[in-house]
Structure 1
Amino acid sequence: MAPADFEAKEPHQDVCGVVSAYNPGPENVSNVKWLLRFVSHVVVVDDGSPGDVSQALAEMEDAGAIVVRLSTNSGIARALNVGIKEAVERWGPEWIVTMDQDSRFTGDYVTSALETAASSRDPRSVGMVCAESHNHIPLPTWGDRQEAQIFDPMTSGSLVRTSVFNVVGFFDEGFFIDCVDSEFNARLREHGLRALAGRGCNLEHSLGSARPMKILGWHARVGSKKLFVYYHAPFRVYYITRNSLILARRYAMKQPTWVLRRIYMEIQSNVVRFGFGPNRRKHFVAAVAGVRDALRQKMGKIDDALAARLR
């Protein structure tokens, strides 16, 4: 993760950070210390890390964070929900910024996000302010050009007004990992609320393992730019497939334009994944299992036997 390029003058007292952690290491400790320069309080929720992460968690506590330890791996939705409730009970902030352990924002992100909400023509309808770009790449938007909404925001880097949770509920823990953010975004709209693109808000986020996109040994490119496949482990492909289908079924009649556009984007990802990515056999097994469980409306954590098969 690149170093922060902005030094906050004073942490925002009405904003608390909630960080989901899993097997955190020294870099994640550094990210928490960095976040505390921008917000008044931070809650870190360790999502049942299987390894010994006591040192990393102790260092986060020494830096000023509140650490909550879950006894078992319960998924990012539950981890965030636990952290949000802890923050609200302790400090009652107006805003919560949810962060992945491997994310940072650049510049005066929090101030810019708050100004985006305050300057809106209808501030009361702003439920969330999200990153306008990831790693300086603009994110897809839709709606009013003057007040663009992020099409499918990621939880990391999103400032959510705490009163919103009383209106729409918390993150859906049945999704476990993938599409948690997408489902919350759709539910936000069902209540007439908006997820605005924060003007100038850029999130630095790890994209995982990037591998060359090769066709018969040739590294594919557009002009002089070489193309890469961002690799997801097979168990993630299971969640992506299952949860995307459940999400589409849930909102197809309510938000058809959004659902169709999102399906189109998933098809593009699958063409790249199955056409050019590695480990395609296990990815296929994962996708088939995801379709099966979506038809059964089976939610929650992946079965242990399937997880072992996909390793």
Structure 2
Amino acid sequence: MKRCAGMVTFNPDMARLQANLDAITPQVEEVFVFDNGSGNAQAVRELSKRYDGAVHVQGAGRNLGIAAGLNAVLQWAAARQYDAALLLDQDSVATSGMVDALAQLLTDDVGLVCPFILDRNRMTEEQYRSQRLPAVEQLTHGASHGAITSGSLVSVPAALAVGGFDDALFIDYVDFDFNERLLLNGYRIVKDNAVYLLHEKGKSGQTGLKVPRRRSDGTVVWAPLFTLGYNPMRCYYQARNRVIYWKKYHKWTKLEGLVEIPPLMALSLLEPHRFGKLRAYCKGIADGVRMPVKEYRP
């Protein structure tokens, strides 16, 4: 299986980006970086030169959004006849042997294989190893926790067959939307808990509160409640795109798109700039409800 990696950058922390590239370049043939108009785009290009031609950087000159950048990655991979592409956020770090392990599960009917996501702000490696997780899980819902963009090894032909990523979403729910289309078109999504990706979801902070959470093995534990630390723009897209997602995939009558948003709004009350974030959530809900959305049919 011919494998590459791709990521979309936007004003990346250069030390973390270097750690990302150091970790992934030994595991794939090439890495494609699509830069979304970063202020430090030249530094990204200079960093790429350290990898003996294995890292290629192209830029948009402006921020087109994560979905458009991921589509550029898929097109680049297809043009070079790669079978699979590992998708990464700019600040994620792949662990040793991760790609080989994921590739073993990427069979003809599997569109995406993802690792366990170890959020640096929420869990230690020791806590990850102490969990009683099934070695392999099959995910059956596009919005299932675990199958995010970063760390996912996707079949390039399958990704293109279902239309790639939805540029209109820009950021947030881009991965869940893509996953849903894979599933509706008959592809499987598999999670390999035996390997993990070091990642950060927003700028999480522990609140001191605890809430019940169900683990993969079915047990319910009291787990710390974390804030997300997103800026108002991300809050807007979180709300708008959740509503769009539920409208698009025949679930709007269940009102699940709206039901999921109040807990996020409540969390924002524990963060700085709370009123700006609340306004952004409200505007996102309103725009999502007003926006014409065609129900998806595979």
Q: Does 1:80 align with 2:70?
A: yes
C-alpha distance in structure 2 between counterparts of 1:280 and 1:234, whole Å: 9
Q: CA deviation at 1:75?
A: 0.3
Q: Does 1:271 align with 2:266?
A: yes
Q: Secondary structure at the match of 1:201?
A: strand
Contact 2:229–2:271 (Cα < 8 Å) also in 1: yes
Determine the structure 1 residue equivalent to 2:88.
99
Determine the structure 1 residue equivalent to 2:250.
252
Q: CA deviation at 1:100?
A: 0.5
Same amino acid, percent of matched pairs: 27
Determine the structure 2 residue equivalent to 1:209.
203
Contact 1:17–1:97 (Cα < 8 Å) also in 2: yes
Q: Secondary structure at the match of 2:3?
A: strand
Pairing of 1:230-249 with structure 2 (within 5 A): 230-249=228-247
Question: In the superposition, relative to structure 1, how do residues 255 and 170 fare at CA in structure 2: closer, same or farther (>3 Å)?
Answer: farther
TM-score (norm 1): 0.76
1:156 aligned partner, one-letter code: S
Determine the structure 2 residue equivalent to 1:124.
108
Q: Does 1:198 align with 2:198?
A: no
2:113 aligned partner, one-letter code: V
Q: Secondary structure at the match of 1:277?
A: coil
Contact 1:15–1:40 (Cα < 8 Å) also in 2: yes
Q: Does 1:182 align with 2:176?
A: yes
Contact 1:210–1:230 (Cα < 8 Å) also in 2: yes
Q: Does 1:30 align with 2:39?
A: no
2:40 to 44, 49, 52: 52
1:229 aligned partner, one-letter code: T
2:26 aligned partner, one-letter code: R
Long gaps (5+) in structure 2 = 120-124, 129-133, 212-220, 294-298
Q: How big is the alpha-carbon RMSD for the aligned residues of Structure 1 and Structure 2? A: 2.9
Q: CA deviation at 1:33?
A: 2.8
2:180 aligned partner, one-letter code: A
1:241 aligned partner, one-letter code: A
Question: In the superposition, relative to structure 1, how do residues 55 and 204 fare at CA in structure 2: closer, same or farther (>3 Å)?
Answer: same
C-alpha distance in structure 2 between counterparts of 1:161 and 1:132, whole Å: 18
Determine the structure 2 residue equivalent to 1:9.
none
C-alpha distance in structure 1 between counterparts of 2:113 and 2:76, whole Å: 21
1:128 aligned partner, one-letter code: L
1:74 aligned partner, one-letter code: L
Determine the structure 2 residue equivalent to 1:6.
none
Determine the structure 2 residue equivalent to 1:304.
none
